[in-house]
């Protein structure tokens, strides 16, 4: 069981990285990765929201939607629940932990309808994970997102300092470097399965 959880976490961090292999959550990946500090903040906020979203959507799916055979409503209900959950978290943070709200607060509205968060919630269902496995998977995905953000922020600071041809400047060179970073993550295919074999 414990080994299984570790495998799930490691797999979702490096092999099935949401940003670099599944191409979800690209907008914050490109938007907030200019500096390492904000990239870290965004990554931590996403991890936090992914865990919360999974904890909330898992029971809703199995105890409400599956019971009434409304599985096809999954996407719209998940969006609804995640968006209001994030808003609620924001209100609670603002009231009780203002310092945390100050550092995470600006990222929370950005992730209310983030595709990576929704993707984690619905992939956990389609992979048939039980609750604890879903939580492990969303933790892993969040950490994977954080890793991708921080790595790319580092790459990007180098790219900013470089002097590419004029037609590549700005977004084009960023996308090219993102694809190279994504390519490196393909090197992890098959590593985790054999790690515990």
Partner 1 sequence: MLEAILIPTLCVTGIGLVCAAVLVIAARFMSVRENELEKKLRECLPGANCGACGFSGCDGYAKALAENPETKTNLCIPGADAVSKEISDILGREFADTVEQVATVRCSGDCRNTDTKLDYHGIDTCQAVKMMYSGDGMCPCGCLGRGDCARVCPEDAICVDRGLAQVDFRKCIGCGLCAAACPQRIISMMPDVKRQVVSCSNTQKGAVARKNCKNACIACGKCERNCPEGAITVKDNLARIDYDKCSGCGKCSEVCPVGCIRTADYSGKHRQKSCENA
Alpha-carbon distance values, 8 to 16, 27, 34, 54, 141 (Å) = 10, 25, 30, 15, 10
Residues 6+ positions from 122 with CB-CB distance below 8 Å: 74, 75, 78
Q: What is the smallest separation between the CB atom of 64 and partner 1, expressed in angstroms?
A: 7
Which is nearer to partner 1, 94 or 169 (by Cβ)? 94
- Give burial (CB, 10 Å; 0-12/13-18/19+) of 116: buried
Which is nearer to partner 1, 2 or 68 (by Cβ)? 68
Q: What is the smallest separation between the CB atom of 84 and partner 1, expressed in angstroms?
A: 4
Q: What is the smallest separation between the CB atom of 121 and partner 1, expressed in angstroms?
A: 14
Under DSSP, the state recorded for 34 is S
Three-state SS at 132: helix
Other CB atoms within 10 Å distance of the CB of residue 170 = 11
Which is nearer to partner 1, 2 or 72 (by Cβ)? 72
Which is nearer to partner 1, 93 or 139 (by Cβ)? 93
Q: What is the smallest separation between the CB atom of 49 and partner 1, expressed in angstroms?
A: 15
Q: What is the smallest separation between the CB atom of 87 and partner 1, expressed in angstroms?
A: 6
Q: What is the smallest separation between the CB atom of 56 and partner 1, expressed in angstroms?
A: 10
Residues 6+ positions from 193 with CB-CB distance below 8 Å: 7
Which is nearer to partner 1, 21 or 112 (by Cβ)? 112
> Which residues lie near partner 1 (CB under 8 A)?
60, 64-65, 68, 70, 73, 76-77, 80-81, 84-85, 87-88, 91-92, 94-96, 98
* Residue 104 · residue 142 · CB < 8 Å: no
Which is nearer to partner 1, 52 or 147 (by Cβ)? 52
138, 124, 127, 146: which is closest to 58 by C-alpha? 124
């Amino acid at each position: 069981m414990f080994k299984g959880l570790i495998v799930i976490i490691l797999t979702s961090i490096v092999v099935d990285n949401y940003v670099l292999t599944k191409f979800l959550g690209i907008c914050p990946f490109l938007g907030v990765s200019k500096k390492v500090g904000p990239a870290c903040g965004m990554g931590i906020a996403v991890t936090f929201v992914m865990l919360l979203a999974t904890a909330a959507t898992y029971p809703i799916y199995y105890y409400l939607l599956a019971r009434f055979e409304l599985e096809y409503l999954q996407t719209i209900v998940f969006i609804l629940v995640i968006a209001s959950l994030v808003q609620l978290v924001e209100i609670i943070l603002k009231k009780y932990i203002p310092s945390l709200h100050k550092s995470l607060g600006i990222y929370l509205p950005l992730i209310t309808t983030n595709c990576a968060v929704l993707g984690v919630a619905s992939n956990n269902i389609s992979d048939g994970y039980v609750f604890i496995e879903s939580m492990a998977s969303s933790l892993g995905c969040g950490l994977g997102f954080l890793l991708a953000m921080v790595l790319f922020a580092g790459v990007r600071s180098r790219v900013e300092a470089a002097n590419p041809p004029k037609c590549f400047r700005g977004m084009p060179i960023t996308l090219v470097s993102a694809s190279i970073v994504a390519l490196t993550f393909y090197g992890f295919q098959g590593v985790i399965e054999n790690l515990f074999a």
